[in-house]
Amino acid sequence: MEIAQAQQLWKPEPGWLNTASYGLPPEPGWTALQDSLAQWRVGSTSWEGWGESVQRSRTAFAGLIGVPDVDVAVGATVSQMLAPVAASLPAGATVVVPDIEFTSNLFPWLVQQERGITVRTVPVDGLVDAIDADTDVVAFSLVQSSDGAVAAYDEIVAAARAQGALVVVDATQACGWLPFDGSRADVVAVGGYKWLMNPRGTAYAYLAPALRERLRPDAAGWFAGQDPHASYYGLPLRLADDARRFDISPAWFSWVGAAPAMDLVAEIGVPAIQAHNVALANRFLTGLGRPAGDSAIVAVDVPDAEQRLAAAGIRAAVRAGRVRASFHLYSTEADVDAALTALVG
């Protein structure tokens, strides 16, 4: 599907430049969600059909990052998906994290400090050089939330492998617009409600098979069973033998809205989405006299930016006094130009 054709599936108010905060649902996802809510309201169906959206979403996510769907667990938040990884680290382990990392990929490691885990933060552009023989885990965002910086993925992975360190990637701000090979990491965790345009309450995690052997599924329930529908009651423990043992019971309606959005991203293709998004981001940067970049998220210093954008009806984020603008499928050149008019006249 071409971008121009796909854009007909959204109806945003002009000026939405904040997908880095949350993505907007395409019409198929919105409609599926409304239909399921109407069914819930009157009790016209059982829940199993809603539950099928989970596997559909899982399979689509696996395809986007190039991993088998049996190696993907589903949950609700990135920090929840990372918790068993952090809990599995032996006492004395060292985790290296960028100093501007979003806390969903920082707090899970920090809460293990009482067990003797060391968390060392370094400048994001010095991450590769900071990986040494004492490093057990390298945890980083593929794209930084604060400023859109794209990590040197291949270089970081190579440096980590040279030291025998695990690679844990938060791809929440990347997956859906930035192509990458998830199988090169040990863990790839993604919150679905941003660039994948899922309802909030969906998260995905690729967990490499070798790593899973070290993890304990402390949140296991019926949905983590080998056959969830045969796991409602009683002994024995009978968990799935793949990544599903780390699933948590799904928030049905979030997944009903997620599946059509996931299918649509796959149909359009991440490379095409990347080209569209980055072109708009660079149009914005050029209009402000800044050099072009390689990200769909940009952060710039502009005096009185928050007030100027608000007065023009432009919805972008302001982080530490900097404008953070983010551009996705439904963003247009008109959105960019309206923001530039507001900021520079």
pTM (predicted TM-score): 0.97
What pLDDT does 306 receive? Answer: 86
What pLDDT does 233 receive? Answer: 98
CA 143 to chain centre: 10
- C-alpha to C-alpha distance for 252 and 48, rounded to whole angstroms: 9
| pLDDT exceeds 80 at position 114 | yes
What pLDDT does 80 receive? Answer: 98
What pLDDT does 319 receive? Answer: 75
Per-position DSSP letters for 200-211, written without gaps between them = TT-EEEEE-HHH
- C-alpha to C-alpha distance for 138 and 101, rounded to whole angstroms: 12
Is the separation of the CB atoms in 282 and 295 below 8 Å?
no
The CATH number of domain 48-266 is 3.40.640.10: yes
| pLDDT exceeds 70 at position 320 | no
Average pLDDT estimate for 90-116: 97
Look at domain 3-27+269-344 and name its CATH class: alpha beta
What pLDDT does 124 receive? Answer: 95
Average pLDDT estimate for 261-288: 98
Average pLDDT estimate for 6-10: 97
Percent of the chain with pLDDT over 90: 96
Q: What is the pLDDT of residues 172-192, one digit of tens each?
A: 999 999 999 999 999 999 999
Neighbouring CB atoms inside 10 A of 29's CB total: 24
What pLDDT does 345 receive? Answer: 76
Q: Give the strands of the sheet with 297-301, arranged side by side.
A: 297-301, 322-326, 317-319
Mean pLDDT of the chain: 97
- C-alpha to C-alpha distance for 165 and 135, rounded to whole angstroms: 6
Average pLDDT estimate for 103-117: 97
pLDDT level of residue 24 (50, 70, 90 thresholds)? very high
* Nearby residues of 258 by Cβ (< 8 Å), 6 or more positions away: 29, 53, 57, 192, 196, 198, 199, 202
Average pLDDT estimate for 253-278: 98
Map out the domains of the chain as residue ranges.
3-27+269-344, 48-266
Average pLDDT estimate for 341-345: 91
What pLDDT does 255 receive? Answer: 98
What pLDDT does 318 receive? Answer: 83
